[in-house]
Amino acid sequence: MALLLEDTAPNFKAQTTAGEIDFYEFLGDGWGVLFSHPSDFTPVCTTELGRMSQLQDEFRKRGAKILAVSVDPLESHKEWIKDINETQHTSVSYPIVADPDKKVANLYRMVHPNWSGSHTVRSVFIISPDKKVKLTLTYPAATGRNFVELLRVLDSLQLTVNYAVSTPADWKDGEDVIVGGSVKTEDIPKKFPKGHKIIKPYLRTTPQPNK
Ligand code: BEZ
């Protein structure tokens, strides 16, 4: 069974390019982004791991640690990082799990047998500080992921966990948000003093409360 939203993210110990890690210890009290890719030394994956590295400071600012996974061995990862750094003009410093026995891949259902019985697909899991799965994504092999979207989702998760709001389609940090359905219209001015709009009784917006 696939991991579902609000399931507890399974812990594991694994060999990585930064040594052996215990996943929960690695995450500490922060957020986590665990993402898998099919294979080292492949073109889309090379751009993906490079892009994640370029954005690492943005993930750090949001208190999120990054961990990549593939079923290739450690020596392969270490050699491949040199190519990623050279071609994507970056310096990968987040760990990459070497998972040749598919321990992590099976725990997180990252192998989809209808695509390949032996390689992980492009999966992403965002994990909250209480170790719950907050987002899952699965992309096909020929489609590189949008890593800026993961930052946008983290912004939304970190906002909506603290305020009775949700974020609309294509929302970006700083834009108006939707007042949660649990908030009575007459209570909005007290809860959201920056103002609000009533577009429909069920669609009420307010400026982002933590900006
Ligand atoms: C790639 O990263 O380019 C790739 C990996 C596996 C299958 C197809 C493409």
Angstrom distance (rounded) from CA 57 to CA 42: 25
Report the chain's terminal Cα–Cα distance, integer Å: 40
Three-class DSSP category at 203: strand
Backbone angles phi, psi at 164, to 5 degrees: -80, 65
- As annotated, the active-site residues are 45
Q: Which protein residue has the closest C-alpha to ligand 1 atom 1? A: 44
How much distance in Å is there from the Cα of 142 to the middle of ligand 1? 6
Angstrom distance (rounded) from CA 133 to CA 139: 17
**Orientation of helix 147-160 relative to helix 43-54, angle to 10°:** 40
Burial of 30 (0-12, 13-18, 19+ CB in 10 A): middle
Q: Which residues contact 11 (CB under 8 A, 6 or more apart)?
A: 22, 23, 24, 131
Contact criterion met (CB below 8 Å) for 55 and 148: yes
How does strand 96-98 pair with strand 122-127? unpaired
Q: Which protein residue has the closest C-alpha to ligand 1 atom 8? A: 141
Nearest to 163 by CA among 175, 152, 178: 178
Atom of ligand 1 nearest to the CA of 43: 3
Asked if the model's pLDDT at residue 1 lies above 90, the reply is no
pLDDT digits (tens, 9 = 90+) for 8-65: 999 999 999 999 999 999 999 999 999 999 999 999 999 999 999 999 999 999 999 9
Reported pTM = 0.96
Residue whose pair of structure tokens reads 């946008």 in the numeric block: 152
Tokens of 121: 């697909």
Distance, CA of 37 to chain centre? 13
Mutate to test the pocket of ligand 1, among 42, 111, 116, 119 (most ligand atoms within 8 A of CB): 42
Contact criterion met (CB below 8 Å) for 18 and 34: no
Asked if the model's pLDDT at residue 79 lies above 90, the reply is yes
Give me the amino acid identity at 3.
Answer: L
How much distance in Å is there from the Cα of 37 to the middle of ligand 1? 8
pLDDT digits (tens, 9 = 90+) for 144-193: 999 999 999 999 999 999 999 999 999 999 999 999 999 999 999 999 99
pLDDT digits (tens, 9 = 90+) for 109-148: 999 999 999 999 999 999 999 999 999 999 999 999 999 9
Give me the amino acid identity at 109.
Answer: R
Atom of ligand 1 nearest to the CA of 45: 2
Contact criterion met (CB below 8 Å) for 82 and 111: no
How much distance in Å is there from the Cα of 21 to the middle of ligand 1? 27
